[in-house]
Structure 1
Amino acid sequence: MSRRPRTARAFALLGLLTVLSATGATAPAAGNGATPAGAVRPAAAPRLGDCATGQLCLWPQADFKGTRGTHELAGLDIESCVPLPAGTTAVALANRTGRPVTTYQSAKCAETGEFETYPGSGTWAPQSPYQVRAFKVWEN
């Protein structure tokens, strides 16, 4: 089963989230700026988590909350499965490695579970659709 269409949609959505988060933009107000009765105003985009160039940063809670774990590109084997420490998972991530990173629901990088690839040009994902248990960094 090919995951490319879903990954392409994820790239587009993540790009939009990154732009909205970085600029602090919100949806434009209707009419005179008042919210119509019964309408719900969209929530502000989450604040981006701190993550330095060359790092993959992972957080245990959505919206970049909890204790951040970092992985330096210099210390990773390219195209090797890197499981998170036993008993830990990540929900939010920032990929600043400069290379594509695939996150896996499986701690063994098995493609039988869920997985997504995030571009390395500076992608912030405030909430993964699954608990991340492992990842792989790819060549460009």
Structure 2
Amino acid sequence: MRTTVLAATLAATALIPATAPAGTASEARPGAARQVRTAPQSAPAGLAPCGAGQLCLWAKPDFTGARQTHELATVDIESCTPLPSGTTAQALVNRTGRPVTTYQSATCAETGEFETYPGGGTWVPRSPYTVRAFKIWEN
């Protein structure tokens, strides 16, 4: 009986929509889409630090090896930014506040692997491919 009640409770909880904390939803006209913004996160315990507003890339998995840091002030938005010649990344943190797409291709070609990560605080200790370029997008 206890297992059945626990399973039913967990299933019902999963069906309840998540609600935004007070003050995070934008005021909208009736019938307009509701936008929810989440607060940027700090590094979870045991993961690499990366400053607010930064995209941090590491040469090796698990946030090891040489680190590169990029900020909005030094990157063209929605433009392909190749990593410096001879460098690649295998781990990353996105705290830019904007979505970032990483590319296997140094020219941001979509014929190779690519993935987009949210900007509020995303820690990726092991990229599924070697990163050679990225794009930071408008929100």
More helix by share: 1
Letter in 1 for 2:67: R
Query: 1:66 maps to what in 2?
Result: 65
TM-score by length of 2: 0.68
Aligned counterparts, 1:50-89, within 5 A: 50-89=49-88
Unaligned runs of 5+ in 1: 1-18, 25-46
Q: What secondary structure, in the 3-state scheme, does the structure 2 residue paired with 1:74 have? A: helix
Distance (Å, rounded) in 2 between the aligned partners of 1:87 and 1:95: 22
- Count, aligned residues: 98
Gaps of 5+ in 2: 1-40
What TM-score comes out, normalization by structure 1 length? Answer: 0.67
Which amino acid counterpart does residue 123 of structure 1 have in structure 2?
A: T
CA distance in 2, matches of 1:101, 1:136: 6
Q: Supply the RMSD in Å over aligned alpha carbons.
A: 1.4
Structure with the larger strand share? 2
Structure 1's consecutive aligned runs of 4 or more residues displaced over 4 angstroms after TM superposition are none
Q: Hey, what's the Cα distance between the residues in 2 that align with 1:65 and 1:101?
A: 20
For residues 19-98 of structure 1, what are the structure 2 equivalents within 5 Å? 22=44, 24=45, 47-98=46-97
**What is the CA distance between 1:73 and its match in structure 2?**
1.4
